[in-house]
């Protein structure tokens, strides 16, 4: 008997102003998919500057990513960059609001285990929950205390 394990990789970012969560599924986590996700976010927010705060996973420090950022940001001053990436402190997932979103999604799936009989249902349930999720977290105030969001 072979135990075949199915898996799905997700990329996610939360808009600090609207608290909207932007979820995308990919076959794996790698630099190619990381770049695809950033490009997708640029399409979601055309003409806007993006500030991505994220962990130090190797795909987030890749040479291809640095090359992409050089192309996108051109010879602009840092304050005018189209995409800015800032890393959280190492080994500090508690700083990342998206970690709370992933946890909420996983907890939701645990409560729905009887309804999700096949992997496709698990993925659909997870995406549906996260796409409608609104995070209330003090962590937003850590990074943008001046924002008054009601």
Spans of all domains in the chain: 9-143
pTM of the model: 0.79
Largest Cα span, the chain: 59
Query: If residue 85 lies in a helix (H) or strand (E), which one and from where to where?
Result: strand 83-87
* 144 close to 16: Cβ distance less than 8 angstroms: yes
| pLDDT of amino acid 59 | 66
Distance, first Cα to last Cα, the chain? 54
Fold of 9-143: Nucleotidyltransferase; domain 5 (3.30.420)
Tens of pLDDT along 68-110? 999 999 888 988 999 998 887 777 777 777 888 888 888 888 8
Sort strands 83-87 and 50-54 into parallel, antiparallel or unpaired.
Answer: parallel
Please list the residues that pair with 11 across neighbouring strands: 24
Residues 6+ away with beta carbon under 8 Å from 99? 93
**Better pLDDT: 40 or 129:** 40
Q: What is the percent of the chain where pLDDT is above 90?
A: 25
Q: How far apart are CA 62 and CA 60, in angstroms?
A: 6
**CA angle 41-124-23, nearest 5°?**
15
Q: How far apart are CA 120 and CA 142, in angstroms?
A: 37
């Amino acid at each position: 008997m072979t135990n075949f394990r199915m898996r799905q990789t997700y990329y996610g970012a939360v808009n600090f102003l609207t608290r909207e969560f932007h979820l995308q599924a990919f076959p794996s986590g790698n630099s190619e998919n990381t770049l695809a996700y950033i490009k997708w976010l640029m399409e979601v927010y055309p003409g806007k500057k993006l500030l991505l705060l994220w962990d130090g996973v190797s795909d987030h420090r890749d040479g291809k990513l640095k090359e992409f950022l050089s192309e996108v940001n051109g010879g602009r001053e840092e304050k005018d960059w189209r995409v800015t990436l800032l890393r959280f402190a190492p080994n500090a997932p508690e700083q990342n609001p998206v970690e709370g979103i992933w946890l909420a999604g996983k907890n939701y799936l645990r409560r729905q285990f009887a309804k999700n009989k096949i992997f496709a249902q698990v993925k659909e349930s997870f995406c549906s929950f996260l796409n409608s999720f609104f995070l209330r977290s003090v962590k937003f105030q850590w990074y943008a205390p001046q924002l008054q969001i009601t």
